[in-house]
Structure 1
Amino acid sequence: MNFKQLEQYFINELSSLYDGEEAKQLFYLVVEQVSGWNRTQLLINMTESLSAELTLTYDDVLLELKQGRPMQHIFAVAWFYGLRFKVSEAVLIPRPETEELIEWILDTVKSEPVSSILDIGTGSGCIAITLKKNLEQVDVSAIDVSAAALAIAEENALTNTAAVNFIHADILTYSSSFRYDLIVSNPPYITEHEKEEMHQNVLAYEPHLALFVSNENPLLFYKKIADFALINLRPKGRLFFEINEYLGKETVDMLLAKGFTDIILRKDMQGKDRMISCGL
């Protein structure tokens, strides 16, 4: 078997889970991880035959993909904003829309410099670590309720040489006298009703603690974090959220009711309401 035949084999075997283009993109990513080739190198070598040992390696990866396991978990690595992060089933896989939130924050602090940032619900640490790498003079702290997630985040901070202060705490009960210039959070926001729309590899392999909220109180974490920000943001500080695309208006209304000003609701590249920024 050569790589061209292997590509078609991947597409055929994954057809029940992914459309042809998605399966092809997965194939490219798997080749990059297993053989170390980028897409250009692969295209040059498409007719090269695979050894029996390499064929078995690709078969093993394909078997896990067919079971719905995310590729990032198979290789225990994800890329985010140009940085490499270790991931496991204890943390959410970093997503492209969160990179857009990072970009918005970095653009904002160019004109509104900050000295301290808090990331609430840090998971893999991707937000806190990326901000620290791009804002080296800023003190960055990060909170998570999961000890397993914090262990991953701390390892990622070491790997990426980012000095982040990690705090093991539940934001629903956490209090602090420290005040920050900027607070950011990508908290759980998917309602139980929305589970039916989700891919099986998310439902089976990503932490429900970091994903889901009740249908009855979908803004639970946003309300708690907003209350925390009212106390722990410095004057003229800003709060940033990644949000549920279906609850943009409700989130804006909640922030208005709590007294926040300069509220901006922003769409992601797919045209979905995805981010909010507001100030005191």
Structure 2
Amino acid sequence: MTQTFKTIRQRFLNTLSPTYGESEAESVFIIVLEDVFHYKRTDYLLGKPLALSAADEQQLEKILVRLRRGEPIQQIIGSTQFMGISLKVTKDVLIPRPETEELVDLILQDQQADRRPELRIIDIGTGTGCIPIALKKHLPEAHITALDISKEALEVAKYNALNNNTLIHFILADILEWDLVFTDEQYWDIMVSNPPYITHDEKWDMQAQVLEFEPHLALFVENKAPLLFYETIASFALQHLQPNGLLYVEINQKYGQEVKTLLQKKGFSNVSLFQDIHGADRMIKASLSSK
């Protein structure tokens, strides 16, 4: 005998609320309904009935078991949304965060005021490809390159680019070895990166589902060199960013002033620190006025 929809919903909430909180648990439940059973969020809010078979209930139970284990819902359903774009997600890529949407939005706002023809953009550490794909959707005339050290991540990014009808040039490389990868003739107008910026000491403050299910390669940097990637990206930009070019990076909120100072000492100008929607230092924008 099948359970009522109300009973199934309550079982989900009772099981997940201790871990997620009731509001997020309900959001996860709605995502499952939308993705697996194509039951729209608006139908849920309006209380429209949903008939579930015994097989449907079994599928929901399997999903609930994985959620209880801490596996992110995005990996379970295999996709996520980023700025209205559907992206494939696997264990090999970092799940895009809302803060990264804010980083992309900052770039787009600047380009509305200063639209450059034949714009050349490079994304460093692309993961799912969320940043270059979103930029290409809004700046279709731009020439965009995306780089990642992970072959598996690049396969996901290439799939996402193709699935979203965006032409992006992908490079498999380690940005720490940029001087061995790029030629002197390669320049970009915009560089953007959401590099690894969490120190290993900060692991203990993180959710278990992030530590256990998302790639540490995309998350962590050594305690002794928390600014390693910003130092490297800044050096790369000094050689390969056009005069008056722009650099955008997402940062660890604990190191906002340090990254800002680093870029200023490197010779960047107009170095600005931005907060995310939660008020935490999260993004830095800088320009390179001369070589």
TM over 0.5: yes
One-letter identity of the residue aligned with 1:234 = Q
Q: Tell me what 1:264 maps to.
A: 272
The residue that corresponds to 1:37 in the other structure is 39
Q: Distance in 1 between matches of 2:234 and 2:192?
A: 10
Deviates more, 1:180-189 or 1:34-43: 34-43
Deviating beyond 6 angstroms after TM superposition, the runs of 4 or more aligned structure 1 residues are none
The residue that corresponds to 2:286 in the other structure is 278
C-alpha distance 138-47 of structure 1, shift in aligned 2 (>3 A)? closer
1:144 aligned residue (144, 148, 153) = 148
What is the aligned partner in structure 2 of residue 209 from structure 1?
217
What is the total number of aligned residue pairs between the two structures?
280
The separation in 2 between residues aligned to 1:2 and 1:44, in whole angstroms, is 17
List gaps (5 residues or longer) in structure 2. none
Asked if the contact 1:117/1:180 (under 8 Å) is kept, the reply is yes
Alpha-carbon distance, 1:2 to partner: 2.1
2:74 is matched with 72
1:92-149 deviations in Å (ceiling 9; x for gaps): 0111111111110001112223410000000110001111111111100011000000
Structure 1 partner of 2:11: 9
SS at match of 2:175: coil
Greater mean alpha carbon deviation, residues 267-276 or residues 103-112: 103-112
Q: CA RMSD for the aligned pairs? A: 1.2
Q: 1:5 to 1:46 in 2, by over 3 A?
A: farther
Match of residue 25, structure 1, among 15, 24, 27: 27
Q: CA deviation at 1:43?
A: 3.6
Q: TM-score, normalised by structure 1?
A: 0.97
Which of 90, 98, 116 is the matching residue for 1:96? Answer: 98
Could you give the per-residue CA deviations for residues 249-268 of structure 1, whole angstroms, max 9, x where no partner exists? 11111111111100110001
Structure 1 unaligned spans of 5+: none
Shift of 1:197: 1.2
1:1-280 mapped onto 2 (5 Å cutoff): 1-45=3-47, 48-114=50-116, 115-175=119-179, 176=182, 177=184, 178-280=186-288
Q: String of CA shifts for 1:233-276, please: whole Å, max 9, x gaps.
A: 00000000010011101111111111110011000111010000
TM-score (norm 2): 0.93
- What are the Cα deviations for residues 150-191 of structure 1, in whole angstroms up to 9, with x where unaligned? 011011110001000001110000232200000000000001
- Give the partner amino acid of 2:159: E
Report the Cα distance in structure 2 between the residues aligned to 1:133 and 1:46, rounded to whole angstroms: 34
Instruction: Determine helix, strand or coil for the equivalent of 2:20.
Output: coil
Residue 49 (structure 1) shift: 4.7
Identity of aligned residues (%): 45
Letter in structure 2 aligned against 1:85: L
Shift of 1:16: 3.5
Provide the C-alpha distance between the structure 1 equivalents of 2:51 and 2:88, rounded to a whole number of angstroms: 31
